[in-house]
Amino acid sequence: MKPKNLKKKIQRLEKRLQEVPKKLAKLKQRLQAAEAAKAAKAKKKAAAKSLKAGGAKKTGAAKKPKKKLNLSPERRAQLAAAMKARWAAKRAADENAIGASGDNQHAAPPGPPPPPQNRPDGV
């Protein structure tokens, strides 16, 4: 083979060898980008799923409609009386709690507010 042809072949081979690392780097970049996109998509999907699940609980959109109870008039009156008694007891307990907190014989009398602290560092 002539030296001129050999030189050309060597030049072509060197050029090809220089391009291979570039191609490899380019393919690695594509792979990373694809993996990142897949991860972002999965994260977005999970967030949407949790938002949907959380939103349904908060808004009550997924609740079943209340079922009307088939009660006899006697049982309905009995339940109404029980609930009224419960509410009355709750109101009485709340009033007692307010009355107890309002009865502050042993508390210190309210004084003037403390003056603001002036510190040398200016804070």
pLDDT at 1: 82
pLDDT band at 105 (very low <50, low <70, confident <90, very high): low
Quick check: is 12 in a domain?
yes
The reported pTM is: 0.35
Q: How many domains does the chain have?
A: 1
Quick check: is 21 in a domain?
yes
Rounded distance between C-alpha atoms, residue 10 and residue 3, angstroms: 10
**Which residues span the domain enclosing 43?**
1-54
Quick check: is 102 in a domain?
no
What's the whole-number mean pLDDT along residues 38-48?
Answer: 91
Of 30, 34, 33, residue with least CA distance to 22: 30
Quick check: is 81 in a domain?
no
Cβ neighbors of 55 (< 8 A, separation 6 or more) are 61
Quick check: is 79 in a domain?
no
**If residue 61 lies in a helix (H) or strand (E), which one and from where to where?**
none
